[in-house]
Each structure stands twice: as C-alpha cells, then as structure tokens.
Chains A and B, each alone.
Chain A
C-alpha cells in the first residue's frame, strides 16, 4: 500500500520561499535588464554581500528551532568588527590573533547567554536584548570613532578572489570571469555543515524534538537543558564567525555597524520556513531567506530613487506576511 506523500506545512512554506525568490529575481532581470541582473556575477553578489548574514542566520535558525531566539547577533557583529580593528590597528596584533579573539567573543556571548537562558530559566528575549545593548555599548567603549583596517594580511584575505569558469563579457567583448571571495566559501561550508548536523546527527534531531515539544522531549529522556545550552553556544560561535566575515566585507569597525542585523537574520530565518514557535526549520531554507533579503536590497538599489529605508520596511512587511501565514497554518493544523 503506497501512501500518497502529503505536503507538510514545512515543505509548503519552503516552496513559497523558493518560488518567491525566483519570481523576485526574474522580475529584477526583466525590469532592470540594463542593470545586469542577468549576469552571473550579480547572482553571486547576493552571496558576496550577505556572507556574514548567512552564517549568523544559520546560527539563529538553530536557536529558533529549539523555540528560543537571539537578538544580540547584530551587536556581537559590531563588537567583533570593532575588537578586530582595534587589535590590529591600535594594539599591533596579527590578523590570526584577531580572528581567534573574534571567535572567542562569539563563543563567550553564546556561553553566557545560553547559561542564563537554559540554566537560570530566563526568557531568551530578555537575555539577548540585554546582550544586544551590552555588545553595542561595549563597542562604543572601545572606540566611538571608526577604525579602518589596514593590516596587510587581513586585506589580502579580504581581497582574495576565487575565479569561476563562467562569467560575462563586457562592452568591448572581453570575457570577465565571475568570482567569489573566501567569505562565500566559508559561509556555504557553514550552511552545509549545519544542514548535515541538523538532519543526520543526534544533536540536530534532539534540537527538533525539544522545539516540537519540550515536555515530551524531557519525558523521552533527552538532556533538554544541555542540548539547548549547546545550541546557544553554537549560535554564539556562528555569530562571532559571521562577524568576522562581515568584517572582511567592511574592513572597518564602528559603533553603528550592523545595526538591525538581528532583524535581517530573524526575518531571513522566518522567511526561510523556520517556525517562531520552534521545532521546524532548515539552514537551506534560511539560505533562501537570506537570498530574498539580498534580492530586495539589490532591487531597491537598482531602482535608484527609493531610499535605503525601504529595504527594512519591505523586509518587515515580508516578515509580517510570513508570520501571519505560519499562524494561519498552525491554527488550521489545530482544527484538524
């Protein structure tokens, strides 16, 4: 007896997301044909400019699957960038040390926040809200001026390019290969590793079980607290790594950096099919969420006359739309 494969609401949400991304991108190709939306490089740029966000969103997805949330990621990014810039420019540290410190900061945030959330039982939102203000304030304490990074090794990393076998031809008919910087490679590796971790490893399956129903996960004998703590630590680490990638893009540290990044990351995850109530979500879906965010920004940039505020507004509207769909789907499921 073959059962007809039912469309789950998860798959449905992911499908909407992918379709939305394709529609938006194709619309961009048609409307802004002269802006080069059809060029492969334009597509790759979606990854290039959002590599940091991609890694951060993956971390956030893991936390959100357990039913938690982390809104400190934007501030952690700013702090990481500032610390790296300060270490390399003012303290004379090498780029390797700076990277290690960056990852350490992320890890520390993850450990402290994870401890407060899981072992002290405080609402994740309050903890990470405090983390968000703490990180931003600490950035300001280090320096209120912008520090540009001029470290040779760091700039070498930032400007390194992997050239692709494909590309586009310019007006003179010369072939220009498409390229990606190392940040994209790291980000994609993180996405794949996270996807494997969540899908095929014990730890990942535990996360879904806890997010689906904490009580039954506990009764099944899962170590709920330890697993959730690990999720926050992993999220913190990825926020640190994302901050490093972000820094490779901006090559500077300043207080206002990455403001609102937490919103971008949360909306990317939600648009990518992660349920706010936990238990559902995939890094691949989140990746498409990030791509949609990237497409919105490049569409608005291409349009030219709209102010950059519109990116946030459109993204918020989209987030709102997906939250409403989730809520409707959830209530429909209950009625069944």
Chain B
C-alpha cells in the first residue's frame, strides 16, 4: 500500500521539478543560513529569496511562451533573447526620440510600449510563419532571428546604449510608489495568470496539446494546426517583448548586446526542468514556472559560489544534458529493462525458496 502511494507521488508530473527546486533551496540554506530571512530596508523587502523571485520574473514570462511553443511545434524558439533586445531597443528609442540619454519622455510611454510589443509580435509572427507555414524546423527558423535580432536592435538604437533616466520608466523593473514588493514579480504573476486563464477558459490549451501530439491527426479532426502553431509563436514573441521591457526598465536603458543574453538557454532549461517533453505534446505551465524559479535559484547560488557570469553556461549545459538524457526514450527503456530484470530475479529467487 505504502509502495503504491510512493509510486503515485514519484510518478506525478510535477515531482521532478519540485524535487529540483527543493534540492537547490536546501543547498542554499546549508550554505547561507539566512537565505529565507526577509527584512525591510528603505521601505522595500530585502533578502536572498526576494532577490531570486524578483530576478526570475523575465525568465518566468519567457518560460510561459516557450512552453506553448514547445508543446505545439515540438521545437524551441531560440530567438527570445534577441527579441527581448529588439523590444527594449524599440521602446527606448521611441521614448528618447533618438537621443542617447534623456531625462524626460520624448513620446508617450503608451506609444512606446505598444510599438515595442508590436515589434516583438512581428518577430514572433516571422518565426511562426517559417515554422507553421513553411514547415522549417523551429530551431533553424528561429536561428535566423537569434543572430539577426541583436543586429536589428543595434540598428534601431544606432549602435549606442540609449538611457531613459525617468523615474516612472524605472518602475517596471523597480518599485511602484511605496509598494515594498518589486514590480517584476507582479508582471510575472500577471502573465502566468492571464495565460493560464486563457488556456483554461478557451480550448486553446487542448488544441495546442493535440497539435503537438499529432499535427496531422489534429488537422484531420478539423483543427487548424498551422494557425495554432503560428499563434503560439506570436504569443511567445509578445511575451518576450514584455520580458524585454521589464529587463530594460531594470537598467533604464536599451543595451542591445546584453539584454536577454543567454536567456533562451535558461527558458528552454526551465521548460525541460518543468517536466515537459521537449518533443512537444502535453505540457504543464506550472511545471515551467517552477522550473524557471529553480534555475534562477541555481544561478544565484552559483554567483554566491563566485562563479563568473561567463562561466555559468557550463553548469547549465550539464544540467540540460542530464535532464534530456533522463527524459529520453532510450534511457527510460534501459531503466524499465533493469526493473523487469530485478522483478524476474525476485520471482526466480522466490521460486527457489518455495
């Protein structure tokens, strides 16, 4: 009876992501006992855990988009980091009116944000067109924007870093008024809630899964597979745009070379850690979100262990390989084979005893 219960728990979809998160947090608590301490300094919340949740916001937003893309097309969008840079560049360039540094808005903020999101949506639509309509492998299709995106962002900002030194612009990446909780957290929560609601209230979630499991079959039962795949890419683009604006607000500037750098890897990692199969099909949004927080916690831990930013990818790459190996069919079969061998061994032993 107990064994069944254990099997039920370990077999649950969210088992792996939660265990990973707990493991990373445990390591942190052992290394820095005051990890969970939260204090109030200068009227804002302060502490390691707050920092992790705050810094993970962009990643959570990206992971949501990446989950949808992965589920529908069985591939990943590796251009999200570059799309973030494009959105940030467009937003800042409109706000500054072409100058390198401004202390007040040259154009309305609404115009800038809408334009930035439109640009991001356009990038997403471009990827979606290549993948859904022209049937190009998702990663090759998005590779185009992965390389060209930062170049486009450079062109938008004329190769300079555009600074927006306006207090209200810093809000999205900082704090609103006297609210002690960092604003990016709200952005992340809002994104997750909105997307989750859309998936729950409409049939989109189900459609995405069915297209991902078998695109042809989904089309035969009357789903517009092409359109659904296309839509997921546009959504992913817009979400990358939101993440880009938050990221640029943090540093109140548009740095085309560094905004969202290497974040595509983290986003894919979050999706994989969340127990989602990278080959498409069923997905769990909550899993990806947990995955995103796990990765940010891991990043913070590594930073605390004096690992330099340039060196981080080594550890993340190893984690990715371990996860995808665990997920792979060959490995599962191997484990299953071991188990059945054990079982048959036990039976044989039992027989001898009797």
Residues of chain A touching chain B, judged by Cβ–Cβ distance below 8 Å, are: 69, 71, 116, 119-123, 125-127, 129-134, 136-138, 140-141, 144, 255, 260, 263, 266, 276, 307, 309-310, 312-313, 315-317, 319-320, 323-324, 327, 330
Contact = CB atoms under 8 A, between A and B. Distances in A.
B328 A263 contact: no
Q: Is the contact region of chain A dominated by helix, strand, or loop, or is it mixed?
A: helix
B308 A144 contact: yes
A122 B324 contact: yes
A319 to B, nearest CB: 6
B312 A137 contact: yes
Nearest to B146: A263
Most chain B beta carbons < 10 A, residue from A69, A71, A137, A141: A137
A129 B328 CA distance: 16
26 contacts: A119-B330, A120-B331, A122-B324, A130-B318, A130-B324, A133-B262, A134-B317, A134-B318, A136-B310, A137-B312, A137-B316, A138-B314, A140-B310, A140-B311, A266-B143, A276-B140, A307-B155, A307-B159, A309-B155, A312-B148, A315-B147, A317-B148, A323-B134, A323-B141, A324-B134, A330-B135
B268 interface: yes
Give the contact-size bracket for chain B.
35 or more
B148 A122 contact: no
Given A126-B278, A309-B154, A137 B317 contact: yes
Nearest to B136: A323
Contacts, number: 121
Contacts of A317: 148
B314 A116 contact: no
Contacts of B312: 137
Interface in B106-139: 130, 134-137, 139
A299 to B, nearest CB: 16
B311 A137 contact: yes
Contacts of A71: 143
Nearest to B139: A125
Contacts of A327: 134-136
B140 A127 contact: no
Given A125-B139, A309-B159, A323-B134, A116 B310 contact: no
Nearest to B147: A263
B301 to A, nearest CB: 16
B152 interface: yes
Contact of B265 (A123, A133, A141, A324): A133
Nearest to A316: B148
B180 interface: no
B214 interface: no
A133 B317 contact: yes
B308 A313 contact: no
Contacts of A266: 140, 143
A303 B318 CA distance: 44
A320 B144 contact: yes
A128 B350 CA distance: 47
B245 to A, nearest CB: 22
Nearest to A118: B330
